[in-house]
A = this chain, B = another copy of it.
Amino acid sequence: MQRIYTNFMPMANVFGDKWSFTSFGESHGAAIGGVLDGVPAGLHIDFAMIREELERRAGKGTKGQSTKYQGVSPRALREPDEVEWLSGVIESDQVTKDQGPSDQVPSDQVPSDQVTKDQGLTTLGTPIAFLIRNKDARPEDYEFLKHSYRTGHADKTYEQKYGIRDWRGGGRASARETAGRVVAGCIAKQALRLKGITIHAALIQVGAETDPAQFAETIAAYKRDGDSIGGIIECRIKGLQAGVGEPIFNKLQAELAFAVMSINACKGFEYGTGFEGVTQPGSAINHISGGIAGGIADGTDITFRCVFKPTPTTPKALAKGQRDKVPSTKVGRHDACVAVRAVPVVEAMTALALIQLL
């Protein structure tokens, strides 16, 4: 094999520059986590929401909702994602009484229940570092990867890039990394909520199926068949004021596309009239803005869609003769539709993208 070790791009593990999120951690190393720099002081962190979002990402569902998709990660069942907070927060009851929240989170916009309860943690304005231990790290399960690459995974390109590779469960390429994004994105969502901005993503298509009532059965069928299937997620942003976004390179749609296309397995992004609009004449669709004009929010709802490919390593794919020597113990675990678990990650990346622009 030819050795090609390219230069690294600066700050390739940092997202955003206003609320900059630095992500770290390998799937089977000591921990994954991140540092969020730029969060204003005085923001009260809602832990229940973070836990709930992490459970959505783990496939356990919110309020019992998505377990029906059978997409729950076996690792997630054994190893709940417990966030350990290292810095940037202080017990809310330690905040000097005569101090209000900073001007960036004016007290008159903070829902009263948040201010009065005052339990949990409040941000200090300093970097918020957190980690999630890899309690269930099982490097030995991945010994087979030490000298082989999986089709459709990043094993080979990582090695081509770095000349060295953490073979333990995909290392940093594992989707486990997205748990950190969900934590950071959830803090961003809480700040956006205080400004009246909400983000809601949902699965709108699984394979050819577009009726949500049929998604669970469709996914189950692919799973029974030892196969996997892709999905389309639609995300709606409400409450974003007109004027947000930049007119040239940092158009709002470009920032959203960048954020969402950085999620593992995402293969496409569109908004407004999207790809299907190509067949419509200007006279028919020129009024559809998708919430953005000239790269700048126009004050109406923004709707975009993104598509996720199917998991590559499945029993059926292996049976077709892939030379990946995946041990049989790993075969049963496959996630038949990764788009299900990508939903909260899409919301998280959308929140992180928007918070940079406000």
Contacts and interface: CB of A to CB of B under 8 A. Distances in A.
A273 B6 contact: no
A251 B261 contact: yes
B172 A243 contact: no
B151 A287 contact: yes
Given A37-B11, A310-B285, A26 B124 contact: yes
A127 B310 CA distance: 28
Given A5-B104, A86-B30, A172-B124, A253 B242 contact: no
A247 to B, nearest CB: 6
A151 B13 CA distance: 39
5 contacts: A12-B250, A29-B86, A101-B164, A254-B261, A268-B268
A230 interface: yes
A115 to B, nearest CB: 13
Interface in A283-304: 283, 285-287, 289-290, 292-299
A82 to B, nearest CB: 14
A127 B13 contact: yes
Interface string A219-252: 0001001111111100000000111111111110
B243 A5 contact: yes
Contacts of A286: 151-152, 310, 312-314, 317
Given A157-B298, A282-B309, 18 more contacts: A7-B358, A10-B10, A13-B127, A30-B87, A99-B164, A124-B165, A124-B172, A126-B171, A157-B245, A160-B299, A208-B279, A227-B283, A232-B275, A257-B269, A267-B290, A282-B312, A286-B312, A286-B313
B171 A124 contact: yes
Contacts of A89: 29
A124 B162 contact: yes
A18 interface: yes
B22 A37 contact: yes
Q: Which of A24, A33, A275, A282 has the most chain B CB atoms inside 10 A of its CB?
A: A282
B261 A267 contact: no
Given A243-B157, A282-B314, A283-B316, A172 B248 contact: yes
Contacts of A292: 157
A193 to B, nearest CB: 18
A330 interface: no
A163 interface: yes
Contacts of A54: none
Contacts of A9: 18, 246, 250, 356-357
Nearest to A129: B24
A69 interface: no
Interface stretch (A38-46, A57-65, A340-348): A38-46
A18 B24 contact: no
The winner among A96, A268, A320 for most chain B CB atoms within 10 A is A268
